[in-house]
Structure 1
Amino acid sequence: MQKFTPPKGLHIRPSTSSDKPFLEKLHRLVRQDLRLLDADEDFIESVVEMQFRAQTEGYGAQFPNAMYFIIEKHMEKIGRVCVDFGVNELHLIDIAFLPQATGHGFGRAIIQSFQYCAAQSGLPMSLNVAQDNPAAKRLYLNLGFMVEAIHPPYEELRWYPPAMTAFVAVS
């Protein structure tokens, strides 16, 4: 695998406690489905907050070694990504962007950067994608991921570094 060079001005950095307002804002924007609830605004806001806490705590419990990053373009926060660097694989837990940052290839670039890291370590990379998100699944398949298992409402996808592909096919 060739060395990966991200688009100019795009980078990730570790998330810090000062990023919490941005992460909450991002969560609110990403979870527009919760706005469809037939309820008053205060109740909807409490559900959004509860979902944010549940997600944060859930990731922490399920992936205690996870690393959380902020994605920036020219020093402006545009998204976040959470990955678990395990002994046997690199697992992409979650990736999300502000609505205005979608459709520009930033997600592809970030995922490719983690594929490069995984390849350098000789590890496969895994992720789960919602079955009702065909655009994300198409992106992952275009990046070489393969469907490994289906556990509705998600599909488990895995990518193997080029050097591992022959080994995996034989095993």
Structure 2
Amino acid sequence: MPPPLIAAGPLGVGYRPADEADLPFLFGVYASTRLEELAQTGWPAEMQTIFLRQQFDAQHHHYRTYYSEAEWLVVQWRGADVGRLYFEEWPSQVRIIDIALLPAARGHGLGAAILQDMLALAAGLSKAASIHVEKNNPAMRLYRRLGFATVEDKGVYDLMEWRAESAPGEPT
């Protein structure tokens, strides 16, 4: 069940189930989130692509293995595929496995709206929401603004959790 489109719908966001035919697109979304980081390596473009493909394949395999009941969604904006949203409902929480948007879709409030709708989904189920966030991820400010708090240091990542009773305000 996709999250409600309370905040994201008015911005032109929609979802469709991802399938195997979407793997090239999903790889492109993943790669777009790592380009700045890899630009600093000085590796030739071909080596960067090989590395990104290996990392994407490993991540995809991990996600499919450990989150077998997840929702795998392609994020659409104004009818175009622009990102991915993966999440799974657990007994006590909604785990946001991954949310990523292509560069052209960033900075328009889409990520914040999608997250607000995920929080509305969790609140409607009387559950917490959680996500692993890289410590240097610029979106960390957004997560904190929405009421997520670090509950566990996982090295490179923080496990962050949102609970309705500790949120700064109701998700809109």
Tell me how far apart the structure 1 counterparts of residues 15 and 79 of structure 2 sit (CA, whole Å).
10
Aligned counterpart for 1:106 among listed residues 106, 110, 127? 110
CA offsets 1:33-85 (integer angstroms, 9 cap, x no match): 23443444333221111111001001122222222111111111111111111
Tell me how far apart the structure 2 counterparts of residues 151 and 137 of structure 1 sit (CA, whole Å).
15
Tell me how far apart the structure 1 counterparts of residues 79 and 147 of structure 2 sit (CA, whole Å).
30
Between the aligned residues of both structures, percent identity stands at 29
Asked if structure 2 preserves the Cα contact closer than 8 Å seen for 1:89 and 1:123, the reply is yes
**Higher alpha-carbon deviation: 104-113 or 21-30:** 21-30
Let me know the Cα RMSD of the aligned residues: 1.8
* SS at 2:11 equivalent: coil
Aligned to 2:141: 138
Asked if structure 2 preserves the Cα contact closer than 8 Å seen for 1:34 and 1:48, the reply is no
Tell me how far apart the structure 2 counterparts of residues 136 and 90 of structure 1 sit (CA, whole Å).
19
C-alpha change, 1:45 and 1:8, in structure 2 (3 Å) is closer
The list of structure 1 runs, each at least 4 consecutive aligned residues, that deviate by more than 6 angstroms after superposition, is: none
Aligned counterpart for 2:38 among listed residues 34, 41, 50? 34
After TM superposition, the structure 1 = structure 2 runs for residues 53-68 of structure 1, keeping only pairs within 5 Å, are 53-68=57-72
Tell me how far apart the structure 2 counterparts of residues 124 and 93 of structure 1 sit (CA, whole Å).
14
Aligned counterpart for 1:4 among listed residues 6, 20, 26? 6
TM-score (norm 2): 0.84
Aligned counterpart for 1:74 among listed residues 65, 75, 78? 78
Asked if structure 2 preserves the Cα contact closer than 8 Å seen for 1:128 and 1:157, the reply is yes
* SS at 1:19 equivalent: helix
Any gaps of 5 or more consecutive residues in structure 1? 166-171
Aligned counterpart for 2:101 among listed residues 76, 97, 102? 97
Mark the structure with the bigger radius of gyration: 1
CA offsets 1:130-166 (integer angstroms, 9 cap, x no match): 1112x3111011111112122221111111124xx5x
Q: Which amino acid aligns with 1:101?
A: A
